[in-house]
Structure 1
Amino acid sequence: MSTPRSHFDAVIVGAGVVGVASALWAQMRGQSVALIDPAPVGSGASSGNACTLATYACLPVNDPSVFANLPYYLFSNDSPLALSWGHALRHPIWMMKFLANCRATKSRQIAQELAALLAHADAGLNPLIEAAAAEDLIIANGQLTVWRSATAADADRAGLKFRRDQGIPFEELSGAEAHAMEPALAFQPARGVYYPLARHIRDPLLLTQRLHQKFTELGGQTIAKAVTELSDEGAQVRVHLGQDDVTAARVVLAAGAYSAQIKGGGAEHLPLQTERGYHLIYKDLGHYALRPVGWVEGGFYTAPMAQGLRLAGTVEIAALNAPQNPRRLDYIARKGAELWGDLPAPDATWMGCRPTLPDALPVIGPSPSSSKIIHAFGHQHLGLTLAGVTGRIVADLLEGRQPNLAIGGLSAARSFL
């Protein structure tokens, strides 16, 4: 039996979809790579998402409408956003930075950064899907967004114009046309938009596992341990695992919402918080939706998947380790019944933590604490969509090469306001 390696070209910390995609890209480029995470591969937020490759989703949560709707968001039981007041009071600077990024000029700058990154999303993910023989998990049937009220649809006109200006293809639909695309909807929308190039994943967890399997076949090593600290030792970076440390020429910190808990990586100095998301699964109702459906006023997605019908979304600003909030699950179930008619009790529920910075942009690039440590976290609602292009950028940086797209706006050294 061969002795396990203790030194690698690259160590990837975090086995969510972003970490696994980064590991596979680097391994495909011929590097020796270790992927380290105490949790099972893909078991966190990567498994509980809305299943959608949302290449059209360039408009951030930071939107000027937040100011006008803030009382409703904070105090209504019917709001898609929930806030833990205790958590907000413990992190007032983060909340102030989030609101500052909702100004019209900042929101548009953020949208432009996201649009530029999303334009490369498919090119980053498709080679990994092909390498992992995961084409059977990808459904190319577009995505439908609906508004129940004409007032809400009119309020989003500027956002649609921005998407069109970025070259994102979509078709505007009447309420009748939208309902004809999804005849199981319990109400006829006032308006709809169809994104024909959007795709969705039948099983996000299985996709991450397939990518990991290919990584392993190519010689990648996986270590199921917790990383407590990273230390730049000059010629290498030491990855502290307790009694069995490993070293690497470079380390990628891709631990999502947990990245700031690892000492020495630089993330502990960044305003990284969580947007907690929830989902419900109805295993016998997968036929209700023909494609992912986003209901704007409801603040959630419905997606048909291998496990059934998944209702996923909403935003809860709360601590990383706070218990599951049953009111969020009740909200999704209640709104799901408005969208699809009477629903049975869900067969499964889930809560996960999206890694979020106050400007809704990920951090991708060198850590301020060490040029040998690369950050790749903070993808908020777009981890699945952006995993492939993030991994490709990471592989370029590991090789000391300039990526083929500008990433200066994603730097950990940005102001975050």
Structure 2
Amino acid sequence: MKTIGIVGGGVVGLSCAVALLDRGYGVSVFERDADYNAASWGNAGHIAVEQVEPLASPAAVRSVPKRLFSVGGALGLPVSMAAHWLPFAARLVAASTPAKFAAGTAALTPLLAGAMTAWRDLVGTLGARDLLREDGHIVVWDTPETARAGRTHWSRAAIGTARIADADPDVLHRLGFLADPVGGAIRFTGSGQIADLRVLATTLEAAVEARGGRIVRQAARLADDSGRIVIIGHDVDQLLVTAGVRSRALLEPLGYRVPMIAERGYHIRARADGWPADLPPVVFEDRSMIVTRYADCVQAASFVELGDPDGAPDPRKWDRLEHHVRSLGLPIEGPFTRWMGARPTLPDYLPAIGRSTRHANLAYAFGHQHLGLTLAPVTATLVAAMLAGETPAVPLAPFDLDRFGKKGPDA
């Protein structure tokens, strides 16, 4: 039996572990975090099948000045972390040409087209169908003017398998707790959410162990042993790196260029007493905030802060989230728990999924930016097929890490 060491036990790594165990591999997952504080378990819970257009785009670059945190927007570029985000910003601009944006959209479209089916299959395999909700999501605007602009944007955007309609009166009635009437609202169908991220994490880990896999609570140290990558102190045949934002530090010493940034997001959580249990995720687009009801709490999340994954959080981000909650009149009362986590983002906003061309026993699946939760199960099926020597259902060439070349001095 071939053995595979998976470095990184977030939602992508654990989904890959289940898929590989079901194919008969021996699997050990190396994950030092036992507190479930990574971005996999702190995100908005949204299965975002509509986000087929990468954020590396001409429109996104043009919008930067009005999106900055200093003028009320959600984009944080901390001066203290400029050494991290300036090189990334230059690569992002280079990846945002019309041609590259079109190619990125074409690459993401088939990935996202299979995302919901893959989630249905995974929760069925786990015996946890209640974890998946397929009630879509709602987008709300503060004013009629921003609603018109927002509707125009979404009507022109590629949204894959999702569909859009005006929000029905029942939805608007359930939003009646807002301090001011909404300027406009639409409802997406085809998207979904995970009902409880912590339960998802523990269910995936339990599934790994029930299939004979191991969860190893320690950091993995990698080394090049005569052209073969090994985990020091452990014997595995193949290695799969799924360590999210930590993948850069693992692979760059081995000669790979991984121009990844920590795209830090923030959330606040409180008891769910006043939030309707059957309300799907609500995006307050003018505030760049998404509110999600989980089993025992309600969460407001926002911000795209580029920087150091280990840098201190900025309390002003949490303060602004709390201000939005109050000013909108949301039925969310403190005390709030505060969280910050780092999404693993590459400059073209495409993931890295593939097999190394320099080390035959090394494969990788990371860099899913905002789509890690959305794409975890479909990524797992593609990785399992690739490692079995089969042709994956989605071409993986656009996601090959070699698109960034070999590691250079500015990587």
TM-score (norm 2): 0.90
Counterpart-to-counterpart distance in 1, 2:7 and 2:238: 11
Equivalent pairs counted in the alignment come to 404
2:266 to 268, 278, 283: 278
Contact 2:241 2:247 in 1 (8 A): yes
Counterpart-to-counterpart distance in 1, 2:341 and 2:27: 27
Pair 1:191-2:179 in alignment = no
Q: Which amino acid aligns with 1:137?
A: L
Offset at 1:222? 1.6
Pair 1:162-2:151 in alignment = no
Offset at 1:195? 1.5
RMSD: 2.6
Pair 1:66-2:64 in alignment = no
Deviations along 1:44-64, one digit per CA (max 9) or x if unpaired, are: 111101011111122333343
Q: Which amino acid aligns with 2:240?
A: V
Alignment of 1:120-159 (within 5 A): 120-156=114-150, 157-159=152-154
* Counterpart residue number, 1:102: 96
1:259 to 241, 247, 251: 247
Structure 1: which 5+ runs fail to align? 1-6
Distance 1:263 1:97, change over 3 A: closer
Identical pairs, percent: 27
1:355 to 344, 357, 370: 344
Counterpart-to-counterpart distance in 2, 1:10 and 1:261: 20
* Counterpart residue number, 2:408: none
* Counterpart residue number, 1:112: 106
Offset at 1:285? 3.8
Pair 1:226-2:214 in alignment = no
Distance 1:349 1:222, change over 3 A: same
Counterpart-to-counterpart distance in 2, 1:225 and 1:382: 26
Q: Which amino acid aligns with 2:288?
A: G
Counterpart-to-counterpart distance in 2, 1:148 and 1:198: 23
1:365 to 354, 372, 378: 354
Contact 1:34 1:221 in 2 (8 A): yes
Distance 1:325 1:199, change over 3 A: same
* Counterpart residue number, 1:200: 193
1:249 to 237, 242, 251: 237
* Counterpart residue number, 1:301: 290
Counterpart-to-counterpart distance in 1, 2:69 and 2:266: 19
Distance 1:33 1:178, change over 3 A: same
* Counterpart residue number, 1:399: 388
Structure 2: which 5+ runs fail to align? 406-410
Offset at 1:379? 0.8
Counterpart-to-counterpart distance in 2, 1:219 and 1:246: 17
SS at match of 1:46: helix
* Counterpart residue number, 1:214: 207
SS at match of 1:332: helix
SS at match of 1:405: coil
Deviations along 1:357-392, one digit per CA (max 9) or x if unpaired, are: 111111000134423211100111111111101111
Distance 1:248 1:60, change over 3 A: same
TM-score (norm 1): 0.89
* Counterpart residue number, 1:76: 70
1:239 to 231, 239, 249: 231
Pair 1:17-2:5 in alignment = no
**Worse-superposed segment, 21-30 or 395-404:** 395-404
